[in-house]
Chain A
Amino acid sequence: MNRKEPFLQRETTRSVIASLISIIFGLVFGAVVILVVALSSKDLGLASAWEGIRLVFCGIFSTGRDAAGALSWGFNGQNIGNMLFRAMPLIMTGLSVAMAYKTGLFNIGAPGQYLIGTLVSLTIALGIPSGALPKALVWLLAFCGAILAGAVWGAIPGLLKAFLNINEVIACIMTNWIAANFVTWMFADSNFKNVVENTKSSYIYKTTYGLVDGQYVSGAGIATPKLGLDKLFPGSQVNGGILIAILLAVCVYIMMEKTTFGYELKACGSNRHAARYAGISDRLNIMLSMAIAGGLAAAGAALYWLSGNTEFFWSTYQSLPGIGFNGIPVAMLAVCNPIGVIFTALFMSMLDISGLQLTNLTAYNEYITNVIIAVIVYLSAFSLVIKLWLAKRLKPKDGGGNVNAELAPGEKKGGKGA
């Protein structure tokens, strides 16, 4: 009775292939855009288009231009390290969206949860006077405080959904803007505004600043340990946070796939009625799901801002952080698989880096990569269609098969089972 689906027919295999097709399509489309730009411009030729296309596909391995002015390639530790650094918060917001989606909720509130995480992590990190507590403990407090606050913030739409049946998308949009204004207000009234460096208006201190005798002093604060990653990828911003993000992704995966709690969450997400029928509290699960999603997004903020080399622009009441929204394509492209999120977040950040390379090394700019991401997001929405198409293509030719959906209850399939 030990039956296993053939590799090509597995749901996950098809999902991965569908995502890869979307990605390839997006990249090819980006290349076409570059070609069109090159051919429609007087100053650019096919040679420059070829450079641009190569950068789109493998900009991460670009090391600039050599003496002769040609593009040079190789291991670029700075690029890869920065990719990891940018992927870190993206993994968390992607996880937030993916996890909620698996439980049947569309968490468009990641930007708000991310902002609340920002507020709390920075407030704790900068608010505790330097030396009052061990630095590691301050870091941990800031990290956990952010998660807790994000969870509470995320639970609000969950609560509204569970008890008043208010659509979580609408509630999330509202809480996003409330968060944006609340965070701006809190920081405007705080003394965390960077006054040491005059050129930086409307920025908060980096967390490397610490409060010493009522003054913020550079180097007296905290920062996520590098864990040697800076040696591996010299010149980049990467730190140990990426490992925490990956670890959390694995934890979410285990929680969703291996535990009774994840089983309950998924049952509620797939079929709320059946879950209720089975005695699972759908309301509790909706709230918990949104709370966890909020916590994950806020953890992403904490990892990003506690890294010590990032500065928060606090007057944010008119805009929401893109990292929060980018969690949506990251999750969709990963078909909401927590492990998949790690890879799609890395891929998205890689495109970012490629975009920077385009800007730095050629006449094209990084907006090309935005076009690519847009195409991929559109296509990932069509992933179901692609999957159906794949299902047809990957059907086994040797009869029997497992596509016996509506067939005869009365007949045992030949060639099945050992």
Chain B
Amino acid sequence: MDSSQDYVIEMLHITKEFPGIKANDDITLQLRRGEIHALLGENGAGKSTLMSVLFGLYQPEQGEIRKNGQPVVINDPNDATALGIGMVHQHFKLVEVFTVLDNIILGAEATGALGFLRKKEAREKVQALSEKYGLRVDLDAKVEDITVGMQQRVEILKMLYRDNEILIFDEPTAVLTPQEIDELMATMKEFAREGKSILFITHKLNEIMAVSDRVSVLRKGRYVGTVNTADVDKQQLSNMMVGRPVQLEVTKGPSKPGQEILRLDHFCVPSHLHKRNAVNDVSFTVRAGEIVCIAGIDGNGQTELVYGLTGLDRSNGGSATLCGEDITHWSIRHRGKNMSHIPEDRHKHGLVLDFTLEQNMVLQRFREKQFQHAGFIDAGAVRAYTEKLIEQYDVRSGQGPITRARSMSGGNQQKAIIAREVDRDKPLIVAVQPTRGLDVGAIEYIHSQLVAERDRGKAVLLVSLELEEVMSLSDRILVMYEGEIVGELDPKKTNVQELGLYMAGAKRHGKEATA
């Protein structure tokens, strides 16, 4: 490439230390003008720290940042903006009750005499940008009323409005439908063609292969290397990222469904947000020895369905039958008799973060005879049990059983929950986004555990937003849209595109919706 010396931003030999951790250890990242550069790494590899350094949120101990070959000092985000660096954060930074237009101009308001806003000019500029790049937004809608996809377009317009030429996307596809992801990829390519430079942070290999020109890989705070995307394949990238060969595909044999474990009949759960039911008239069964997956875009009632099923919330219609018993009105504790639950939010529900690992391991079981005598907890038994689980499920932590859950890495927190729930050995496992935010290595492990449990004759109800996970792990797919099951698919006979149409509500029960 002839423009190899034309680096718009260079981060050279950046080292950033936190107490006890070298978050960035001699990392070099060079972004060419007009390229899409992917930054790949597991959780905790140092991607966020590096970006925070670029944004002036942290000052590195060593290394320098150059813009167009000139060393620059970035002390705070305002400096970064002045240098033309813009970022779409994973969790959008929008004011919910402001309109789209107000959000876009916020912080870069054009004002006239006496400090009055000159919104008309701003509106024209935003409209022009919106048309030019096909970023459809409703400028007068409030952010809280628009879809996540549109919110992301608002974030992108925010960068364009500020004439940023270096655009950073932090995990931008996590919340999008397959169709929206395609649109985003096209937009990114369009930006690159115009000479804008894009830094694309992700751990999804497919997207890197589809859109990026080069990839820089970080592992455990260290720089592994930069490669041209065209020269590598997914397997090589994931090996670079994890540092060892990783099984990308889930290996599993055909399922052998046995007796019915869970049955939902016309099950309804009320919504806390609106008057309608969040889960409306849902019926399905899960049998022993199969993984049934509820697919859908976030916020279509999956969370409420699980709450209603596990007892965290009350259902207001229909019934749930578990192992032949009507559990519709049972308490959470009672339901736990035949059900284990890997919760969606491991910090909210899954763990008591200020408890130690061993205290967390017996969160449901501390009342069992094994762990208490006459109301006194048998600390020895709890310790022994925890050590057994740590050993068996390879849960890693600084101080073993007495580690505070809060100080463990996300992957190991999740492993601990999985160990606890799987070891409770219940006929039904409800797993909600069990791999969310985890890296390839941990995902591989968790998938193999779920398949192993299936093969041991457990019924697994999996709720996932990750299409790849849905396609590779499930034996049957139920698609949820606006609180209803709109389709049942066989993963062997469908593809991501069809699944996406169901998830977006464009298709239901095999018929085209009249939209």
Contact = CB atoms under 8 A, between A and B. Distances in A.
Contacts of B149: none
A404 B21 contact: yes
A22 B450 CA distance: 51
Contact of B220 (A4, A411, A416): A411
B61 to A, nearest CB: 16
Contacts of B398: 402-405, 413, 416
Contacts of A405: 20-21, 398, 407-409
Contacts of A409: 44, 396, 409, 411-412, 439, 441-442
Contacts of B244: 410
B116 interface: no
Interface in B379-422: 379, 387, 390, 396, 398-402, 407-409, 411-412
B366 A407 contact: no
A274 interface: yes
Contacts of B442: 409
B376 A278 contact: no
A259 B21 contact: no
B428 to A, nearest CB: 15
Tell me if A's interface is mostly helix, strand, loop or mixed: loop
Most buried by A among B341, B359, B366: B366
Interface residues of A, number: 40
Contacts of B341: 277
B190 interface: no
B20 A277 contact: no
Interface residues on B, range: 35 or more
Nearest to B413: A409
A274 B348 contact: yes
A267 interface: yes
A416 B397 CA distance: 11
A395 B364 CA distance: 35
A40 interface: no
Contact of A279 (B332, B352, B411): B332
Given A395-B20, A408-B409, A267 B352 contact: yes
B56 interface: no
A134 interface: no
A3 B332 contact: no
Given A267-B352, A404-B20, A417 B400 contact: yes
B372 interface: yes
Interface string A192-227: 000000000000000000000000000000000000
Nearest to A254: B376
Interface in A267-323: 267, 270-271, 273-281
A403 B20 contact: yes
Contacts of A133: none
Contacts of B390: 1
B349 interface: yes
A337 to B, nearest CB: 14
B349 A273 contact: yes
A206 B242 CA distance: 76
B400 A3 contact: yes
B400 A410 contact: no
Contacts of A411: 220
B220 A408 contact: yes
A416 B343 CA distance: 31
B354 interface: yes
Given A260-B375, A407-B220, A402 B399 contact: yes
Contacts, number: 126
B381 to A, nearest CB: 12
A280 B334 CA distance: 11
Most buried by B among A278, A281, A401, A407: A278
Interface string A367-405: 000000000000000000000000110010000011111
A43 interface: no
Nearest to B243: A410
Interface string B295-337: 0000000000000001010000000000000000001111110
A395 B439 CA distance: 29
A405 B410 CA distance: 10
Contact of B399 (A3, A258, A271, A275): A3
A5 B402 contact: yes
B351 A258 contact: no
A385 to B, nearest CB: 15
A370 to B, nearest CB: 33
Interface in B147-194: none
A409 B336 CA distance: 30
B21 A407 contact: yes
Most buried by A among B333, B363, B400: B363
A406 B21 contact: yes
Contacts of B396: 409, 412
Contacts of B376: 258-260
Given A261-B375, A271-B353, A403-B20, A277 B409 contact: no
A267 B366 CA distance: 12
Nearest to B350: A274
A163 interface: no
A402 B348 CA distance: 25
Given A273-B348, A409-B411, 12 more contacts: A260-B372, A260-B376, A260-B377, A263-B377, A266-B352, A270-B355, A271-B352, A274-B351, A391-B19, A405-B21, A408-B44, A410-B243
Which 6 residue pairs across A and B have the least CB separation, nearest first?
Answer: A279-B333, A403-B20, A277-B349, A402-B398, A278-B363, A409-B411
6 contacts: A263-B377, A274-B350, A278-B332, A402-B398, A409-B44, A409-B409
Interface of B: 19-21, 44, 220, 242-244, 310, 312, 331-336, 341, 343, 348-355, 359, 363-364, 366-367, 372, 375-377, 379, 387, 390, 396, 398-402, 407-409, 411-412, 439, 441-442
Interface of A: 1, 3-5, 258-261, 263, 266-267, 270-271, 273-281, 391-392, 395, 401-413, 416-417
